[in-house]
A and B are shown apart, each in its own frame.
Chain A
Amino acid sequence: MSTGFPADSVGLVQPRRIPIAQPLTLDCGRVLPQHELMVETYGTLNAAHSNAVLICHALSGDHHAAGFHDAQDRKPGWWDSCIGPGKPIDTNRFFVVSLNNLGGCQGSTGPSTVNPETGRPYGPDFPLLTVRDWVRSQALLADALGIGRWAAVVGGSLGGMQVMQWTIDQPERVAHALVIAAAPKLSAQNIAFNEIARQAILSDPDFHGGRFYDHGVVPTHGLKLARMLGHITYLSDEAMRAKFGRLQRVNQFSFNFDVEFEVESYLRYQGQSFVERFDANTYLLMTKALDYFDPAREHGDDLAAAFRRAQARFLVIAFSSDWRFSPQRSREIVRALVRAGRDVSYALIESTLGHDDFLMPIPQYQRVLRDYLDRVAREAGT
C-alpha cells in the first residue's frame, strides 16, 4: 500500500528492463541483433489478455508515464493526469504499458548505451530510426508481455504518429487507436524547426561528431538551444503572453544580454533542466524519426489508402491553441479515415496553452477520453 500518494495515483512504480532477443531489421537496412526496452506497467493484465493499453511517448517522453519512483518524488510521471485508478486511462480496468522507445536515453537501448561490439557507447554508430521501427520494436515487446492485441494504443504528438503506424502495420493487433495532437506528416515548417534544433547540437564544439561520451563532455549549449526552440513551438502565443508578457526581472533595461525578460529566464531554465536528463544523440534521432514519418508515402501519397489496411476504431483529438500540429492537421487524418471508411470520432478541445495541452487535465479532454475508454474497457470485458 503506497502511503502519502494521492488516492487516484498508481503510487510507487518500478521500471523494468525487458530484453528483446529477436533481431530487428530497421528501415535504414541495418539489423539490431537484440535490444532492451525500459518499461513500466500499471494495473493488471486480465486472464483473457484483452485489457492491455499501450502508451506511446512523444519527443522527449519516456516510460515513466504515471506514479512516483520514490516517496520523495516531487513530480509524478509525464501523463499522471490521465493514468491511474479512476482516471481516464483507468488502471483499475486496464493493464497499461509504457515504454522508453528504442533509441531513447532513459534506459532503453540507444545511442548512449554501450555497444557490445566495441565496449563503448554507440554514439553516432547507433542507427537512425523511423516510427515504423518503433512499432516493430513495440510489437516484439507485446509478444514478450503476452499481449496479442491491444485494447487501445494511445499517444500524443509523436506518440500519436506511432498509434497511426500501429494501425497500418499491425492492423489485427489494435482494437482502438487514440491519436492526440498529431499530424499525418511534418510540414516544411515543422521540419525547419527540427533542422535548426539539430544544427544547434551538431555545431556545438562539445558534440564531437556524436562521440562526446568519449571526451567526458556534453554538448550542453546545443541541446539547450534545441530545447528552447522546441519549447516555443509547444506553447501558444497567447499562453506565453499570459504567462510572461513582457515582464522583466528588473524594471529597467540593462543594455546587455543577460536574462532580462521573464520568458528568457523560463526558456533558459527549461533548456538547462532538459540537458540534465536528455541525450543529444537521442534528440537528433527523435527529430529525424519525426521528419521521416509519412505513412501515406508507401501508399502512393494517399493516406486513405494507408488507412484502408487498418481495422481499429479511431478517436482523433486536437487542441484549438496548438499551432505545432494544428487542428487542421488532425482534420487531414480524419478526412483520410473517413475516405477509408474507418470508424472515427474527432474532438476539438478548446485550449489555451498550445501543443502541450495534450498533457493537461482539461475537463472536456478528460471527459472525451474517459467516455471513449469506458466503452473500450467494456468491450475488453473489464
Chain B
Amino acid sequence: MTRSAGAPPDLRPDLALLCDWIRPGSRILDLGCGDGALLSYLAEHRQVSGYGLEVDEDKVARCIKAGANVIQADLDDGLRDFDSGSFDYVVMNLALQALQRPDDAVTEILRVGRVGIVTFPNFGHWRVRAALAAGRMPVTPSLPDRWYDSPNIHLCTVDDFEDLCRQRGWRIIARRLLDRSHHEGARIRLAPNLFCEIALYMLQSPEPSA
C-alpha cells in the first residue's frame, strides 16, 4: 500500500496521497477543488489554510456547505488574481488535461506557488494503447468518458509530460506513478509509461522564489 498510515479512510485515496506531500501549517491553493474534500481535510487535520478554485456551481455550493474557502472561477482564465509566490503549494488534481493550455497553466501554478502539485491520467497506459490499436477512442477506468462527452481535450502521457518539464525547465521534485487503485508496483517501475494510470508530480519553477 502506498497510502500513508495517517491518511483517513474517508478521504478519497488520490487526495490522501496528495496530503502526504503537503506540510502541516502551510497555505495552499487547490485548482479545480471539487467539493472541497482536500481543503476541508487539510484544514481540519493539518492546520493548512487556503482556497479552492472551482467553476461548477454545484460543486461551489458543496464547498460552501462543507465550510471550505471556495472561489468560483474558470481555471482557463488563469491565476491573475493571485500574487506570485503567495502560496506554499498550488495543487491541480486531474484537471490539467481539461484545460485550454495546460502548459500555461503549469507556468501559472509555479508562479503563484512555491511548489506545484499536478496530477493527470496517463494516456500511455496499455489499455489506452490497446483501444487505439483496435481503432477506438479509449474508455478506461481512469478515463471513463466517451470521446463526445469527455471534458478532456489535452491528454498526455507520462513521457510527454516529462518532456515538457525538461523543455520548460520545470524541476521535478518528486513523482508518484500509480495504478488506478493508487498502488505503485514492480510493473510500473519497470515500464512507467505503459503501466501507470495516474501520475502525480511535485514541481518547482526554474528560478525558485526565495
* Interface residue ranges, A against B (CB under 8 Å): 315, 331, 334-335, 338-339, 341, 343-350, 364, 367-368, 371-372, 374-375
Asked if residues B81 and A338 are in contact (CB atoms below 8 Å), the reply is yes
Q: Decide if B83 is an interface residue (CB 8 Å cutoff).
A: yes
- Closest residue of chain B to A350 (Cβ to Cβ) is B57
Cα separation A331 to B79 with both chains bound (whole Å): 12
Cα separation A249 to B72 with both chains bound (whole Å): 43
- Closest residue of chain A to B68 (Cβ to Cβ) is A345
Asked if residues A346 and B65 are in contact (CB atoms below 8 Å), the reply is no
Q: Are A345 and B61 also in contact (CB < 8 A) when A331-B81, A339-B83 are?
A: no
Shortest beta-carbon contacts, A-B, top 7? A371-B65, A335-B81, A346-B71, A348-B72, A345-B70, A371-B64, A367-B61
Cross-chain contact of A364 among B57, B68, B83 (Cβ < 8 A) = B57
Q: List 8 A-B contacts (CB under 8 A).
A: A338-B51, A338-B82, A343-B49, A345-B63, A345-B69, A347-B60, A368-B64, A371-B64
Q: Given the complex, which residues of B lie within 8 Å of A343, measured CB to CB?
A: 49, 69
Asked if residues A344 and B51 are in contact (CB atoms below 8 Å), the reply is yes
Cα separation A344 to B190 with both chains bound (whole Å): 46
Q: Decide if B2 is an interface residue (CB 8 Å cutoff).
A: no
The A-contacting residues of B in range 140-163, CB under 8 angstroms, are: none
Cα separation A331 to B86 with both chains bound (whole Å): 17
Q: Decide if B25 is an interface residue (CB 8 Å cutoff).
A: no
Q: Decide if B24 is an interface residue (CB 8 Å cutoff).
A: no
Cα separation A367 to B65 with both chains bound (whole Å): 9
Q: Decide if B169 is an interface residue (CB 8 Å cutoff).
A: no
User: A308 to chain B: closest CB distance in Å?
Assistant: 14
- Closest residue of chain B to A331 (Cβ to Cβ) is B81
Cα separation A123 to B51 with both chains bound (whole Å): 49
User: A27 to chain B: closest CB distance in Å?
Assistant: 31
Q: Given the complex, which residues of A lie within 8 Å of B82, measured CB to CB?
A: 335, 338
* 1/0 contact string of B37-79 vs chain A (CB within 8 Å): 0000000000001010000010011011101111111000000
User: B62 to chain A: closest CB distance in Å?
Assistant: 8
